[in-house]
Amino acid sequence: MNFKAILQKLLDRHDLHHDEMHALMQALMQGEATPAQIGAVLIALRMKGETPAEIAVAAEVMRELSARVPVRSVAHLVDTCGTGGDGVNTFNISTAVAFVAAAGGARVAKHGNRSVSSSTGSADVLEAAGVNLNLTPEEVAECIETVGVGFMFAPAHHSAMKHVIGPRRELGVRTIFNMLGPLTNPAGAPNQVVGVYDAELCDVFTEVLQRLGSAHVMAVHAEDGLDEISIASPTRVSELKSDTIKPWWIDPAEFDAAHESLEPLKVSSAEESLAMIRSAFAGETGPHADIIALNAGAALYVAGLAADYAEGVREARKVLASGAAQQKLDEFIQATQQFAS
């Protein structure tokens, strides 16, 4: 690969062809580029603007190089991993959603990491709950089959990312890699609810996931900036279903879940986040339970366990009221601990 030619093409604001993008990502992920080259192409791509085609190829390469989770079937298999980076510092909603969805019958392949931009990432919260994060891909698959939930700790499945960590950290700005986490589920989950940090990315993500063969996806971004379905403002949705993409909006007031602000949802530690999740799982009502229901409803819908989004929300509320989500979390903790060495 002619690195200089690729860089010049990007600087001239020209999109990369499939083979060029594939070769570039292979070089970045396999340690064939210097830190200066990595930083240069990431910024040049960002300045040009990454196209859905380029993002899809980047995700393909990451998938090829990842440690795959050998699930027996992708029926009702869903991921709730978002991009993060909204800067709002709410409790870890997508993690709570995973257990509500699983208790509602979904098979959840939750992809996640430690916190990048907020006070608490999914891995931080699960670790605080007593979950063993150090599972092999086969052990994650066993958790999905027996409990209905598996957590794929990103660094364990994407070891090739180590080559770009340093330059990314030093750059300190968003690059294409900020988008790739939710696009590279190691279990191949065909259904997703993916929160994105920018409204413009809703349509980008559904187009990329369509190119990657996903079945049913809701990409969401709220008007208040939240990368989840919000209780404090309408949320923009781009939905991929039956190979068709359509935009629509979710108004929390229509689900009796509207609140003045996101302030009651803010936390400063993994322990606080876990306490808020456990409170909702114990049947306590309020803004924290409402936002879990709105997002878990989406997960149940895309997993094929609800005829529409409204039915998904109703089912999620039933799960929260029943205590089944807490039971599912307890089962998951126990399942992961059996693999502790």
Residue among 329, 288, 260 at smallest CA distance from 90? 288
φ, ψ at 152 (rounded to 5°): -105, 100
Establish whether 73 is an annotated binding residue. Answer: no
Establish whether 261 is an annotated binding residue. Answer: no
Establish whether 93 is an annotated binding residue. Answer: yes
In a 13 Å sphere around the CA of 202, the CA atoms on its Cβ side amount to 23
Establish whether 115 is an annotated binding residue. Answer: yes
Establish whether 86 is an annotated binding residue. Answer: yes
Do the beta carbons of residue 216 and residue 191 sit within 8 Å?
Answer: yes
Establish whether 107 is an annotated binding residue. Answer: no
Measured CA distances, 119 to 37, 39, 92, 124, 213 (Å): 31, 26, 9, 9, 33
Establish whether 94 is an annotated binding residue. Answer: yes
Establish whether 113 is an annotated binding residue. Answer: yes
Do the beta carbons of residue 44 and residue 10 sit within 8 Å?
Answer: yes
Do the beta carbons of residue 6 and residue 24 sit within 8 Å?
Answer: yes
Establish whether 82 is an annotated binding residue. Answer: yes
Strand order in the sheet with 191-195: 149-153, 107-112, 77-79, 191-195, 216-222, 235-241, 244-250
Establish whether 116 is an annotated binding residue. Answer: yes
Tokens 């891909």, located at residue = 137
Kindly state the helix (H) or strand (E) to which residue 77 belongs, with its residue range: strand 77-79
Q: Positive or negative, the Cα torsion across 166, 64, 341, 129? A: positive
d(CA 95, CA 23): 35
Establish whether 122 is an annotated binding residue. Answer: yes
Establish whether 312 is an annotated binding residue. Answer: no
Establish whether 117 is an annotated binding residue. Answer: yes
Establish whether 175 is an annotated binding residue. Answer: no
Establish whether 266 is an annotated binding residue. Answer: no
Q: Which residues are annotated as a binding site?
A: 82, 85-86, 90, 92-95, 110-118, 122, 168, 227-228
Binding residues for 5-phospho-alpha-D-ribose 1-diphosphate, by number, are: 82, 85-86, 90, 92-95, 110-118, 122
Q: Output the known binding site for anthranilate.
A: 82, 113, 168
Annotated binding site for Mg(2+): 94, 227-228
